[in-house]
A = this chain, B = another copy of it.
Amino acid sequence: MTADARGPAIAREVADRLHSAAIALLRTARKEDEASGLSAARLSALSVVVFGGPLPLGELARAEQVSAPTMTRIVSALEELGLVVRQADTQDRRIQRVVATEAGRKKLEEGRARRVEFLRTRLAELPAEELAQLEKAAEVLGRLFRKGR
């Protein structure tokens, strides 16, 4: 049987299962995120700042698909928590660049570590063969979905 003949049907099936698994995974991961003490909106914004480098508040607002006033408040909250700072642009002093602090990076990294650790303990229960299968799959998924980051 060729891949093309079987492909579409099996892709749908795999997509379905992967989707279910992702939902379940997402659930447990969300619980770990709560431990950070940050809301989803703040955590997401912080993540963009940490990985996307210093960037103007307006750009951050667009990236997160919220209005400027909303982002002002989110950034203000993160700033009060010491996770980011505003830096006036030297070229254009209207612009406030948002930069992650060390504490901000650390906070994000801790959250990631928590989620990964949780996952790891689950995976560690698996027989070696299944773990190897997941390893290959993770590689494929990484290629498929990780482009954006």
Query: Is the C-beta of A107 less than 8 angstroms from some C-beta in chain B?
Result: no
Rounded to whole angstroms, the CA-CA distance of A13 and B123 in the bound complex is 10
In the complex, are the beta carbons of A21 and B124 less than 8 A apart?
Answer: no
Query: Is the C-beta of A38 less than 8 angstroms from some C-beta in chain B?
Result: no
If the complex has contacts A24-B149, A146-B20, are A138 and B14 also in contact, measured as CB distance less than 8 A?
yes
Query: Is the C-beta of A3 less than 8 angstroms from some C-beta in chain B?
Result: yes
| Interface residues in chain A, defined as those with a beta carbon under 8 Å from any beta carbon in chain B | 2-3, 6-8, 10-29, 112, 115-117, 119-120, 122-124, 126-142, 144-146, 148-149
In the complex, are the beta carbons of B19 and A131 less than 8 A apart?
Answer: no
In the complex, are the beta carbons of A126 and B145 less than 8 A apart?
Answer: no
Rounded to whole angstroms, the CA-CA distance of A119 and B141 in the bound complex is 11
Rounded to whole angstroms, the CA-CA distance of A137 and B141 in the bound complex is 10
Contact of A29 among B2, B26, B131 (CB under 8 A): B26
Looking across the interface, which residue of chain B has its beta carbon closest to that of A5? B128
Contact of A149 among B20, B29, B134 (CB under 8 A): B20
